Amino acid sequence: AQTVTQSQPEMSVQEAETVTLSCTYDTSESDYYLFWYKQPPSRQMILVIRQEAYKQQNATENRFSVNFQKAAKSFSLKISDSQLGDAAMYFCAYRSGATNKLIFGTGTLLAVQP
């Protein structure tokens, strides 16, 4: 069975600095997708960035980028120029190409210090 592990329960970053959130996953499949979602306190989950496993190029969305290491089964999220609004719980998620369900990690709570 596929699993997603986020080993950092909490992280903190200074405003305008860069922070990297870690995610590892376990799968024997070759066709899959990876996602990072942001869940602000008491607000809905927002899709931050996505990566197709067959793409070698790391995905980038404005200040958010990923470091996708397929052989190591690692999918970290880098947030550049951190802003107060980035404070949230961040979830890494995996989806097999054969199913439609997302498998989530336990999340990393990011605090942004002014």
Partner 1 sequence: DTGVSQDPRHKITKRGQNVTFRCDPISEHNRLYWYRQTLGQGPEFLTYFQNEAQLEKSRLLSDRFSAERPKGSFSTLEIQRTEQGDSAMYLCASSLGGSPDSQYFGAGTRLSVL
> Which of 30, 43, 57, 85 forms a contact with partner 1 (CB under 8 A)?
43
Question: In the structure encoding, which two tokens stand for residue 29, read together?
Answer: 């499949």
Residues 84-113 that bind partner 1 (CB under 8 A): 91, 93, 95, 99-107
Q: Does 25 bind partner 1 (CB under 8 A)?
A: no
- Judged by CB, which is closer to partner 1: 18, or 99? 99
Q: CA 7, 84, 48: angle at the middle one, nearest 5?
A: 55
Q: CA-CA distance, 45 to 26, in Å (whole number)?
A: 23
- Judged by CB, which is closer to partner 1: 103, or 111? 103
Q: What are the CA-CA distances from residue 83 to residues 8, 19, 56, 103 (Å)?
A: 20, 11, 29, 28
Binding residues for partner 1 (CB under 8 A): 4, 33, 35, 37, 43-47, 50, 52, 91, 93, 95, 99-107
